[in-house]
Amino acid sequence: MTVYKKKLIVVSNRLPFVIQKDDLGNVIRKHSAGGLVTAVAPVVVENDGKWVGWPGPDYDFGEPLPESSVDDTSPTAGLKSSNVIPVALEPHLYQSYYNGCCNETFWPLFHSMPDKAVFSADYWKAYVEANELFARNTIKALENACDPDDPPLVWIHDYHLMLAAHAIRQYAANRQYKIKLGFFLHIPFPAWDLIRLFPWADEILQGMLACDLVGMHLQDYCINFIDCCSRGLGTRVDAKDMIVEHGGRYVRIAPLPIGIPYDRFRTLAVSAKRTIPEEKKVVLGVDRLDYTKGLPQRLKAFELLLAKHPEYIEKLEMLQIAVPSRTDVKEYQDLKEQMDQLVGCINGRFSTPTWSPIRYIYGTVSQQELAAFYRDAAVCFVTPLRDGMNLVAKEFVACQINDPPGVLIVSPFAGAGQNMLEALLCNPYELNETMETLHRALTMPEDERTLRMNYLRKREQSQDVDFWMKSFLRAIGRLDGEEAPV
């Protein structure tokens, strides 16, 4: 584990756990299993750092936060409640800030789907207000943590909080606190032509530039951001060294692609019980049910495969696991309906008395089950129309312990498609190409599968989530024993 001795304050939309009530009415922590929590929480625990975030709708402000239990094995075990700063957001504010500005505006816009984006002054007002609240709570966390010789690092996450750094820097300057501010964007940063559609784009750019380091998954996203700063704000930029000058400070922009807890997934794959029978060939899809993930296109490509290659009838199955997501937003409700219809149509068209082509699970599965599906699938079919990185592609690779292994297909419009070079690439906008790539994956010789998978596994193992965390700390000059490169 990274041994990080400086003060660390993580700020994210959600806390690393959700506060809920159990059947007896006791307040409990329900843990989130995401890569961010797995990587960052143990470091926060170890260095007695703090986490600022929204605790979920069930938490009554004023009541004490629960401590972790003795038998807690989650990454947040040992995170003291005194080190957790819950941010109170009234339901109507949360609705306009989170469902509104974050999910109806920034999510589609940043995924290059401006037709789906809603531009609303009310949403924006709520976003500003919510960011202000996160900033104020972060300042609370900073009190007593500001040693002028060893300034704490405030690490802000994602598109929910693009303004927070600006407010935190102002507060800190007023109180003469010295701090380091880092930001990581988990989704793509789009081109200037898209960003300029957002009426308050300048404020977003300035908000992010209040940081010392802005990290993104890909060089392409960094280049877009730097271009936006230059064209939108007229700031001086050094595109080669990826530095933006702003307010008399130099802000470093860095591609820092996220990794996964590789060893955790590999270990799960070793112990997980088989759920796909050995004789079955399965094409696997695992996603949040989101219109950026290209799910209808994926089903249609599978349908085309069955139509063009009847040899797969009764021999192949597609298992699509889709986690319900943002169910309050209309676009997501429409997608759910579209998926239900498509699955019904394709199954109706091709099913035989003993076989159905698509098994569709609309729900969450445990990581143990997920690891078994990843391990035993013949192909993992990752076809987003746009995706910051895509962790599913990496988790699949970590679980490929069978000999011979399966095949990974990735869209080039996912960050993973740009650095998982030995995967098969296919453009999900073109149905025939997607179908042909799937056919190629299913008929790939064993030695080619092994060769490609060995390279993929090596890279994901060495560039895992801990590597990502260290790279971020190194880039901001906060990795113990190392100096900042800038």
Which residues are near ligand ADQ by CB under 6 A? 34, 186-187, 258, 286-288, 321, 323, 364-365, 370, 387-392, 395
DSSP 47: T
164-174 helix and 201-209 helix, angle to the nearest 10 degrees: 50
- The nearer residue to ligand ADQ, 206 or 390, going by C-beta atoms, is 390
SS (H, E, C) 423-438: CEECCCCCHHHHHHHH
Continuous segment of H or E residues that includes residue 314: none
Q: Is 301 exposed, middle or buried (0-12, 13-18, 19+ CB in 10 A)?
A: buried
Question: Pick from 56, 57, 81: which is nearest to 69 by CA?
Answer: 81
d(CA 75, CA 4): 16
Let me know: does 207 contact 164? Beta carbons within 8 Å: yes
Residue type, 260: I
- The nearer residue to ligand ADQ, 183 or 312, going by C-beta atoms, is 183
- The nearer residue to ligand ADQ, 321 or 453, going by C-beta atoms, is 321
In angstroms, what is the minimal distance from the CB of 292 to ligand ADQ?
7
Q: Helix (H) and strand (E) counts for the chain?
A: 17, 17
Question: Pick from 216, 261, 222: which is nearest to 238 by CA?
Answer: 222
Helix, strand or coil for residue 253? strand
d(CA 267, CA 371): 9
In angstroms, what is the minimal distance from the CB of 391 to ligand ADQ?
4
In angstroms, what is the minimal distance from the CB of 168 to ligand ADQ?
22
Question: Pick from 346, 367, 152, 151: which is nearest to 266 by CA?
Answer: 367
Let me know: does 251 contact 213? Beta carbons within 8 Å: yes
- The nearer residue to ligand ADQ, 177 or 189, going by C-beta atoms, is 189
- The nearer residue to ligand ADQ, 141 or 393, going by C-beta atoms, is 393
- The nearer residue to ligand ADQ, 10 or 286, going by C-beta atoms, is 286
Q: Cα dist. 134→144, 164, 436 in Å? A: 18, 7, 48
Q: Is 328 exposed, middle or buried (0-12, 13-18, 19+ CB in 10 A)?
A: exposed
In angstroms, what is the minimal distance from the CB of 214 to ligand ADQ?
14
- Phi then psi dihedrals of residue 39, to 5 deg: -80, -45
- The nearer residue to ligand ADQ, 321 or 473, going by C-beta atoms, is 321
In angstroms, what is the minimal distance from the CB of 106 to ligand ADQ?
12
In angstroms, what is the minimal distance from the CB of 410 to ligand ADQ?
11
Bridge pairing between strands 424-425 and 407-410: parallel
Let me know: does 369 contact 269? Beta carbons within 8 Å: no
Q: Cα dist. 187→27, 360, 392, 431 in Å? A: 32, 26, 15, 25
In angstroms, what is the minimal distance from the CB of 419 to ligand ADQ?
12
In angstroms, what is the minimal distance from the CB of 388 to ligand ADQ?
3
- The nearer residue to ligand ADQ, 237 or 473, going by C-beta atoms, is 473
Let me know: does 275 contact 373? Beta carbons within 8 Å: yes
- The nearer residue to ligand ADQ, 103 or 206, going by C-beta atoms, is 103
- The nearer residue to ligand ADQ, 158 or 303, going by C-beta atoms, is 158
Sheet holding 84-86, edge to edge: 84-86, 50-54, 8-14, 153-157, 180-184, 213-216, 249-255, 243-246, 237-238
- The nearer residue to ligand ADQ, 28 or 323, going by C-beta atoms, is 323
Q: Cα dist. 165→205, 214, 249 in Å? A: 11, 11, 14
- The nearer residue to ligand ADQ, 76 or 235, going by C-beta atoms, is 76
In angstroms, what is the minimal distance from the CB of 36 to ligand ADQ?
7
d(CA 267, CA 368): 10
d(CA 372, CA 103): 32
